[in-house]
Each structure stands twice: as C-alpha cells, then as structure tokens.
Amino acid sequence: MKLAPGPFTLAVSLCLVFFFAAPVAASTGGPLFGGYWASFLEFWQGVFQKQNGVVMAVLGVGVLALFIITRGKWRK
C-alpha cells in the first residue's frame, strides 16, 4: 500500500496552522490583520457556545470522517 504525500502534508500543515495561530488569536490585533482576527474568533466562539453550533460542528466532523473512511475503498 503506497500512501500519497498530499493528504498527509495537508493534515500536518493544518495542525501547524492551528497550533501557531493560538498566540496570534490571543493578541489584540496586529498591523497585518487589525481587529479582523479578533472579531472572527469572537464570532465563531459565540456560534460554538450555542447548542446548535456544537451540533453542526459534530455533524461536520462526522461528514468529514465518512468522506475520509469511504474515499479509499475503490482502490482495493
């Protein structure tokens, strides 16, 4: 079984982006984005604090998981 480097590279880079974005999110806005990043995080935190936001996030993760699980079945 040969794995393609593309999906692995994408997953690692997304993890790194989320890991290194935490200090940026804690700041009060820099010269590059201004207050956009703080407003963006405030909006999405408000969405996920509601029950319907959590339900939609779980459904989204479920759809993504099903896509990943069923994606490679045709190669067997």
Q: Is 11 part of any domain?
A: no
Q: By residue range, what is the domain housing residue 54?
A: 35-76
Model confidence pLDDT, tens digit, residues 33-75: 667 887 888 888 887 787 787 788 888 899 999 988 888 666 6
Residue 1 has pLDDT above 60, yes or no: no
Q: Is residue 12 in some structural domain?
A: no
Domain-embedded: residue 52: yes
Whether 26 is in a domain gets the answer no
Tell me if 73 is assigned to some domain.
yes
Is the backbone of residue 3 left (phi > 0), alpha (psi -120 to 50) or beta?
beta
pLDDT for residue 41: 84
- Residue 5 located in a structural domain: no
User: 45 with 54: CB under 8 angstroms?
Assistant: no
pLDDT tens digits along 2-11: 656 677 787 7
- Is residue 41 classed exposed, middle or buried when 0-12, 13-18 and 19+ CB atoms within 10 A define those classes? middle
State the pLDDT at residue 61.
Answer: 92
DSSP code, position 76: -
